[in-house]
Every structure is written in C-alpha cells, then in structure tokens.
Amino acid sequence: MPDAILLSFLGLWLMAAASHKHCREAGVCDPRAKRALRFLGSLALVLAFTTCGTELTGERVVRALGAASVAGVALVLLLSFRPALAFAPLRRALALSRGRTPTSPSAARAVPARVSPAANSRGR
C-alpha cells in the first residue's frame, strides 16, 4: 500500500505541475512539456493501480482509490502552504534536462540588483 500511495502522489504531483494554476511555480511554460507531464502523471497513476497487490477485483479498485485519496490530501496540503517549494525538484530536473544549471537562492542573494532610488520612489 505505501508504494501505491507514493506512486499516486508522484502521478498527482506531475499532473498538478502541468495544470494552469501551478505551471508558473513548476517552471513549465511549453505546451509540449505540459503534455509530457500529464502523460507521465497518468502513467504513474496506472502503475499505482496495477501494483496494488491483489488480483483484478473490487479490492484492487478500493486500494487504488484509498491510496490516491491519501496522496491527494497530502498533495493539496503541500500545495496550499508552499507551492514553489513543492515544485523545486521538478524545476531543477527541467533545468538540468535543458542543459542549464539552476541558480541557488543563496547565489541569487549574493548578487544584489542595482536599482536607482528614483525608480523605487514612484514620484514621491
């Protein structure tokens, strides 16, 4: 059952990353990447359904739905508090697959942006 919960969480997480609401936090802008994430998410959900541990009966369906509901609640709680942190591994993987190294938050803070005081004053 824990493997079905983890696979369901992974599938729902990938599908959430491809959704319109969370695509910016996940760093997914390309429609082809969204389709690929949806496909991988549905593949993980099918894999979770097929590896529930029983033969194809009603018990497998109940176990798969139970695992998906536990994973769904955990994902909703995670995305409601820290969506950017939840998709950080996906952003890093996408950046590595594109051939770029992701910038760490500490490196981004080390180089301060130069902004003139007049630009921030807004006419005050």
With respect to residue 49, please indicate whether it lies within any of the assigned structural domains: yes
Domain span at residue 77 reads 2-103
With respect to residue 115, please indicate whether it lies within any of the assigned structural domains: no
Instruction: Extract the tokens encoding 30.
Output: 């390309």
Per-residue pLDDT of the chain (124 residues; tens, 9 = 90+): 788 888 888 888 888 888 776 776 677 777 787 888 889 888 988 888 887 766 767 788 888 888 889 988 988 888 888 877 887 787 787 777 777 655 555 444 544 555 555 555 555 5
pTM check: above 0.75: no
Please count the structural domains in the chain. 1
Q: Report the C-alpha gap between 114 and 111 in whole angstroms.
A: 9
Nearest to 4 by CA among 58, 59, 70, 56: 70
Burial letters for 85-116: b for 16+ Cβ neighbours within 10 Å, e otherwise?
ebbeebbeebeeeeeeeeeeeeeeeeeeeeee
With respect to residue 119, please indicate whether it lies within any of the assigned structural domains: no
